[in-house]
Structure 1
């Protein structure tokens, strides 16, 4: 779930909790709204931490200079 999905969950939860006065038998819509907002917030925090880790720029390391090794194949073993 991306950042947009998390924001939609928060918005839907806020609408259910604060903007509706529906009463359904067996379902507490205020509680469902709070649960959706909490899940959305957890998603935003998780998404932000993952995105922050991906943006970390590792400084370049010291280049390794390999020496050229000359291998003479004259037919004789050393």
Structure 2
């Protein structure tokens, strides 16, 4: 969702900055467009970083000898670290 939000902000900002030919006395629409494009780029970049970080997994493998039975016990754990 955040990647889509970044793209939408960037597109709306590009429309305001380059395609819209209207003037409003109390606000500079071209500047607002540039600000929205920058915000969209930052949101998209942060979402890509968080998605790449979320896909990383940690695998732990341990082998030990059970003292009661003398058997070798193997334990495997796979987990995904919390991205936040």
TM-score, scaled relative to structure 1: 0.78
Looking at structure 1, the residues matched to 30 and 5 of structure 2 have their Cα atoms a distance apart, in angstroms, of 20
Aligned to 2:73: none
Match of 1:74 in 2: none
Structure 2: distance between partners of 1:4 and 1:66 = 51
Pick which of 61-70 and 22-31 moved more.
61-70
- Give TM-score, length-normalised by structure 2: 0.73
Distance 1:68 1:6 in 2: 56
| Alignment correspondent of 2:64 | 65
How big is each residue's C-alpha offset from its partner over 1:7-59, in whole Å with a ceiling of 9 and x where there is no partner? 0100000000000111001100000000000000000110011001011132x
Find the residue that maps to 2:7 and give its secondary structure. Answer: helix
Moved over 6 A (4+): none
How many Å separate the matches in 2 of 1:50 and 1:42?
12
Structure with more relative contact order (C-alpha pairs < 8 Å, separation 6 or more): 1
> Aligned-pair RMSD on alpha carbons?
1.6
Corresponding residue for residue 29 of structure 1: 29
